[in-house]
Amino acid sequence: MNTRAYAAGRGTLSTREKLLDINWGLVLLIAVVASIGFAMLYSVAGGSFSPWAGKQMVRFAIGLAFLILAAVVDLRVWMSLAYPAYALAFLLLVGVEVAGSAGLGAQRWIELGPIELQPSELMKISLVLALARYLHGLSVEDVSKPLKLAIPLAMIVAPAALVLHQPNLGTASILMADGCVLLFLSGLSWWWIAPTVTAIAAAVPIGWEFFLHDYQKARVMTFLNPSTDALGAGWNISQAEIALGSGGVAGKGFVQGTQSQLNFLPEKETDFIFTTLGEEFGFVGSLALLLLFALIIGYGIRIAMASRSQFGRLLAMGLTLNFFFYILINTAMVMGLIPVVGIPLPLISYGGTAMLTVMFGFGLLMSVHVHRQVEIPRHAAGLFG
């Protein structure tokens, strides 16, 4: 074994060596996708960097610094900080319930001085971190033991319930999906999976009756038949479908989208920004963006497979799947394949907390890549005990 490989295995690479080992191809790919987002925000503002594109570029620059900083921090440090990060995110979620600010009919933000945070975005990353650490210490047999399984289930359900109460069905769904997939990847027995899926299916009518808000029920009914109230509850999805359809194969051209420029599109800078891209660049442009997303996801899976530690593998897969679920739900929503649930498109939609947490997540993914040779014992608690 050469000296550098030995140092990598022990996690003693210098900062310079770690910076050189960052997957700069992936960083460039992320920057390209973010630049598409800047262009779309410029377009929906009528050809202006104000009020969205300029701010988003600054946030991306800050996020890029977060990414690089997170990448060079030892993976075992992130492992040791997993539970405190989860606890902080959970407390912030509770804070939203107590003193959060409302927007668009939902209470999802908390004000910390001049900063307005959306704790549910922080929880997406913190949950993956905490579950990866907990499941790292379990054998495949332990994962399916009831007492061992109860802890990660509580870690998943508790924040998901708080987020659902905000109400934020989309983010709650992502939290549940992230958690369940990590359990599956850790070796959860099908004897647990099959009955759980059956129970969830049987509980749908109960959830519809007692847990969904009236506006969420309206969204489902509108999804099933948007034409019944095209000027009311069905307005969002109807306009989104018109924008996507009118783009055709090659689109109308940059800053030439009528649905966005004439303000027919709802939330054109956030949840429905993909429809602007579809209108202006057509099927070709939309497919190109999805292919770029697929490349990023492919990088994430490759990084996970190359890690020598269970914590690194689970963390990388969890972060990659979190990114995938973001894309899946947003694009399916704007195309009318699922009900509208209010999920931004990562790196493309306007948003502060979302952009910074996505970039920090990529930083953690890069840390797994940089420290892929580091072996972490099953029952290790990290550098700080």
Residue 379 resides in a domain: no
pLDDT at 104: 52
Residue 346 resides in a domain: yes
Backbone angles phi, psi at 101, to 5 degrees: -100, 150
User: How many domains is the chain partitioned into structurally?
Assistant: 1
Residue 382 resides in a domain: no
Residue 375 resides in a domain: no
Residue 164 resides in a domain: yes
Residue 384 resides in a domain: no
Residue 377 resides in a domain: no
Q: Which domain holds residue 56?
A: 3-370
Termini Cα distance of the chain? 29
Backbone angles phi, psi at 277, to 5 degrees: -60, -40
Residue 50 resides in a domain: yes
Closest-CA residue to 318 (of 381, 372, 362, 376): 362
Residues with pLDDT less than 70, the chain: 1-11, 99-109, 112-115, 196-197, 199-204, 207-235, 262, 264, 379-385
Contact criterion met (CB below 8 Å) for 317 and 301: yes
Q: Position of tokens 């790919």?
A: 29
Secondary structure tally for the chain: helices H, strands E: 17, 3
pLDDT at 1: 46
Backbone angles phi, psi at 108, to 5 degrees: -125, -10
Q: Which residues contact 74 (CB under 8 A, 6 or more apart)?
A: 11, 367, 371, 374, 383
pLDDT at 382: 40
Contact criterion met (CB below 8 Å) for 334 and 272: yes
Report the alpha-carbon distance of residue 49 to residue 40 in Å, rounded: 10
pLDDT at 40: 95
Contact criterion met (CB below 8 Å) for 235 and 266: yes
Contact criterion met (CB below 8 Å) for 293 and 33: yes
Q: Give pLDDT tens digits for 106-126.
A: 556 677 666 678 889 999 999
What residues pair up with 116 in beta bridges, in sequence order?
111
